[in-house]
Structures are given as C-alpha cells and as structure tokens.
C-alpha cells in the first residue's frame, strides 16, 4: 500500500504533483490545518503531514495520529509543532532550512539599504505631495563596517553580498572557525569588539536561550554612536524597549526589523519612531522561496517514506539517500545487537557503551546509536523507534557513550555493544558480511559466526559433553525442528554458548524441559525482525 500524505496548508500545486509522481497517495486540503477538530478527526489516516504555519501540530493531534511517521514544515520555523511530543511518539519533524536562505539574506540587505537611505519615509513623504529633499540625508554602505551576528547559512550569504558592496565585514559566531572566516573574507571577532566597531549590525541566529536578548540594553549601549541595526532573523534577539530608548536618544541612528518578540505585531515600542523600517515577517516572502520550500518538503517526505532517507530532521540524525543504501544493513545490525541484549536484560539499564570499528566508525554514528537504542528498548516498549529511542533512554537516565577505532581485527568493521546494569555487564558484537547480511561475531567474549534468524534459542552452559544431545533430544521430543545451530566456547571446560535456529516461537514447556536437565546456566528464546 502506498504511503499516504496530508497537505493541510497552502502549498504549491507543483509540490503536490511531486508526491503523486513519486507514488505517494496525497490529499491536498489547504483549509484543514485551520480547523483543529477536523484535523484531529482525519489525522489517523496519514503516514505524513505537510504543513506551513497555519497547522498546529499539538500533543493532542499527535496522540490521534496513529500512523503518522513524519511532519514536514515548508520553511524554517517549527514553533507550531510540539517536537517533544513528536519525538516521544516516534514522529520525525523536518523543516526546509535552505529553500529561503537567499530570499531572507536579500531581505536583510534590502532593509539595510532602506534604513541607510530612509527610503520608506522618503517614499511616504513624496506620496503625500511633499518635496522634502533636504530632510532625508542618508549614508553610503561602501567602506562601512557591517557586524554580522551569526555567520551560518543565511549570515554567510549576507557576508558575501556585503563584501560585494565593498563593506568591511566582521562576524561574531562561536562556531565560525578561523579557516572558514578566512575563506569567507570576513574578520572573526568577539561580540564586544563587534558592538564597538560596527556601523551596521545584522542578526542571523536562531532564538535559543544563549541568543535571547543578545542585543540587551547593556550590549546596545556598547554599540558605536550612530549604529543602525537590522533584524530579519527572530523576534526576541533584541531588547525592543531598550532599542526604542536608544533610537529616541539618537545613539542608534536607525533600525530595520522584519521580526518581533510578539507576532503578529499589532503594537510595538519601535512603531512610529523616525527612521525605523518595519515589515511583517517577509524574510521568506518571495515567489521563488515559497516554491523552493514546497518542493523540498515534497522531496524530503517522499524520500523518507519510500527509502528511509532523512533530511533536515530536527529530532533525528539526517541520513542521505546514499547513506541509507550503504547503512541499511548496518542499521539493521545495530537494531539486532540492541534487541539481543534487550531480550536478555531484566534489571534497569544504567549505561550503554557502543564501539564502532573500521568502516563502521566512518558512518553516520548518530543514526546507528539511535538504531541500537531502539532495538534495546523495543522488547519492553514495542512502539519505540529510532526517533523516540534517544528521548526514552534519556528519560530513563540511561547514559550512552560512543567510541571509535581504526580497523582492529579480521573484519573490515564491526559494532560492539556493552550494556551495564546494577548487577552485570552484557556485551555482543556484530558485523555485516559482503552478502549484506548482519552477523553476530562475539557474545560474552566468545567468538562465533552466527546469522540472525526470526526465532532463536540462546543457551549458556559449562563446556562439557552431552549438551548438543540434550538440546537435540529435548527439542525433538517436543516437536520443535532445529533448522541450524551455532556453538562457541572460550576454553575447554569453560563458558560455552549455543544459538539454535527454529521455525516458530519456542513453547514454554520446551524451555522448562531444558532447564530441568540441569545442564544449562540460562535458556532464553529470542525473536528478531528479519526481512
């Protein structure tokens, strides 16, 4: 059955056609997102939900979304999606951060020109029949210093455009390396230095705890006299009341804002002040940008629902289509390793340690970590998946650590999982052979070569004669067919293990009969999702 997607906001018809062309069953109902009751009644039908800003994906909507696997926002902001509830539900939340980068950067440049030359006020004055040529004395951008707070995707484009305007560009960004700054042609500085030197300041950072009010009253007072400030990023980055006071005093010569602390902005301290340019969150409002983000949403959702590729996810590591092809068997191996230990572990898990060796160490480790945790917890929580597993593990206080190493054995690469409980540690390692099939290669430090079957029996015992006979006789006496088996031991007379492959789940009567022989230290049936 084809995956089913609901488009509940206004989206390009071209994007809707992409879903159809990719074999997705799509319902285009752009008015549905505004009717929360109607959406609640319908959401259970769909595997995917494509939205813009009108649809509110609340915990109540997610609770009713019994089949939902992905929510994708055409745009950057996902404030209208309860991402915590989505993660716990195992629903991927995507956005499209690159579709409107150029548009937003161009708007910031346009706003900088507008405030530098007082264009909106001059336009209004001229429309009113006045000819106040001497009133609107502006400043040039050439040779002025632009301070860019946040030199990421959008900020980087602004830097490039500003250099083309022959501005001097200085940038504050904790994640900007000196090498990258040199390549961009900008000077990397600390925030205080930027505030002191910049003639224009433009912000291009997300609104998080570290950036909230980054231009506070204190920092605004550190700015150069006559500075002009542009914010086309997020409301809440600037103390608007403090900025209004500094505009009135003349310390700040002008400001251009596309975003506000409270939106829709019906009233604001900046409104009505001279040389303040305000627009109603138009950063992404171009025909090209809206088309781009819509097409990206359709492609991203289709890729995930059809191939498992994850792009621009906010609550799960991204996995490209190319990575998905290569990593598919390794992700399945990671799940199987987790499932093996999860089915054996009874007490609370304290820590999970994962070692990646060789080729495995060069893969998308965050995705593999998620697969391990999902497999580990699925025996207790059947609905857990790669999205919800890290959240569930964190809620339960499970500490996860990851280490990597170069190829250290006869395999091109392998994954070793060690799980720590209050009373013991369990470890298992596995690899993927050239046939693409995952294999267990070590259990309890005992080397083996074991394929993974849907129904298996795992036993531990002291290495002594009669074990194979006891297994065969007991299983045969109860009508259980052994399809194959793998044995392993450390030393003669030491710890030994057996893995039996059977056709169906093993009845409790068989497990009891094996225990009653007194030959086994433990007897445990195992089940794996084998394709």
Return the residue matching tokens 């002025």.
144
CB 504 within 8 A of CB 527: no
Residue 234 among the catalytic residues: yes
The question of whether 263 is a catalytic residue gets the answer yes
Which residue among 22, 228, 234, 489 is the active-site one? 234
Active-site choice (22, 281, 455, 489): 281
C-alpha 211 chain-centroid distance: 20
How would you classify the pairing of strands 482-489 and 495-502? antiparallel
Q: CA 261, CA 258: separation in Å to the nearest integer?
A: 11
Cα 386–chain centre separation: 11
Nearest to residue 133, comparing CAs of 117, 115, 155, 109? Answer: 117
Positions of E strands within 406-520:
413-421, 425-432, 438-443, 446-451, 455-462, 482-489, 495-502
Q: Helix, strand or coil for residue 239?
A: coil
CA 188 to chain CA centroid, Å, is 28
Closest to 77 (Cα-Cα) out of 317, 300, 318, 314:
314
Residue with tokens 């390793």: 337
CA distance 471 to 506: 13
Q: Which of 63, 132, 218, 263 is flagged as catalytic? A: 263
Treating both helix axes as pointing N-terminal to C-terminal, what angle do 508-516 and 467-477 enclose, rounded to 10 degrees? Answer: 140
Neighbours of 392 (CB within 10 A): 21
**Calculated CA dihedral for residues 95, 101, 105, 110, nearest 10 degrees:** -90
CA distance 48 to 50: 7
265-293 CB burial, b ≥16 within 10 A, e <16: beebbbeebebbbbbebebbebeebbbbb
Q: What's the rounded Cα separation, in Å, for the pair 380 and 374?
A: 10
The alpha carbon dihedral of 332, 334, 336, 338 has a sign of negative
Active site residues per annotation: 234, 263, 281
């Amino acid at each position: 059955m084809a995956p089913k997607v609901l488009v509940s906001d206004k989206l390009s018809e071209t994007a809707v056609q992409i879903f159809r062309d990719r074999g997705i069953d799509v319902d285009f109902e752009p008015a549905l997102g505004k009717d929360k009751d109607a959406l609640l009644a319908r959401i259970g039908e769909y595997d995917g939900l494509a939205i813009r800003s009108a649809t509110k994906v609340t915990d109540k909507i997610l609770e009713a979304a019994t089949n939902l696997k992905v929510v994708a926002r055409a745009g950057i902001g996902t404030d209208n999606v309860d991402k915590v509830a989505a993660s716990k539900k195992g629903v991927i939340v995507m956005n499209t951060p690159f579709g409107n980068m150029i548009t937003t950067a161009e708007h910031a440049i346009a706003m900088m020109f507008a405030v530098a030359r007082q264009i909106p006020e001059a336009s209004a004055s001229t429309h009113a029949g006045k000819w106040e040529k001497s009133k609107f004395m502006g400043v040039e951008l050439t040779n002025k210093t632009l301070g860019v707070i946040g030199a990421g995707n959008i900020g980087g484009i602004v830097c490039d455009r500003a250099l083309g305007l022959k501005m001097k560009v200085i940038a504050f960004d904790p994640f900007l390396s000196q090498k990258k700054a040199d390549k961009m042609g900008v000077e990397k500085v600390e925030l205080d230095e930027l505030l002191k030197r910049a003639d224009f300041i433009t912000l291009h950072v997300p609104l998080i705890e570290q950036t909230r009010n980054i231009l506070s009253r204190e920092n605004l007072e550190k700015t150069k006299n006559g500075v002009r400030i542009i914010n086309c990023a997020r409301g809440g980055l600037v103390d608007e009341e403090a900025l209004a006071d500094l505009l009135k005093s003349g310390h700040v010569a002008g400001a251009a804002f596309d975003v506000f602390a409270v939106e829709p902005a019906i009233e604001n301290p900046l409104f009505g002040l001279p040389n303040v340019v305000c627009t109603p969150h138009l950063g992404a409002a171009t025909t090209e940008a809206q088309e781009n983000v819509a097409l990206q949403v359709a492609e991203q959702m289709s890729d995930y629902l059809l191939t498992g590729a994850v792009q621009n996810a906010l609550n799960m590591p991204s996995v490209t289509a190319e990575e998905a092809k290569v990593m598919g068997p390794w992700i399945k191996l990671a799940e199987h390793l987790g499932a093996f230990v999860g089915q054996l572990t009874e007490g609370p898990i304290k820590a999970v340690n994962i070692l990646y060796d060789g080729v495995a160490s060069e893969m998308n480790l965050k995705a593999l970590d998620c697969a391990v945790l999902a497999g580990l917890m699925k025996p207790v929580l059947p609905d857990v998946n790669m999205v919800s597993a890290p959240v569930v593990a964190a809620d339960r206080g499970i500490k996860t650590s990851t280490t990597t190493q170069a190829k250290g054995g006869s395999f091109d690469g392998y994954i070793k999982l060690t799980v720590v409980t209050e009373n013991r540690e369990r470890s298992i390692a596995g690899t993927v052979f050239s046939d693409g099939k995952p294999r267990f290669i070590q259990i309890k430090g005992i080397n083996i070569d074991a394929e993974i079957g849907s129904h298996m029996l795992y036993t531990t015992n002291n290495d002594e004669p009669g074990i194979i006979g006891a297994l065969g006789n007991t299983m045969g006496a109860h009508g259980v067919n052994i399809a194959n088996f793998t044995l392993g031991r450390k030393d003669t007379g030491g710890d030994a293990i057996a893995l039996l492959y059977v056709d169906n789940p093993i009845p409790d009567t068989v497990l009891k009969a094996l225990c009653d022989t007194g030959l086994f230290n433990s007897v445990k049936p195992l089940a794996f999702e084998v394709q």
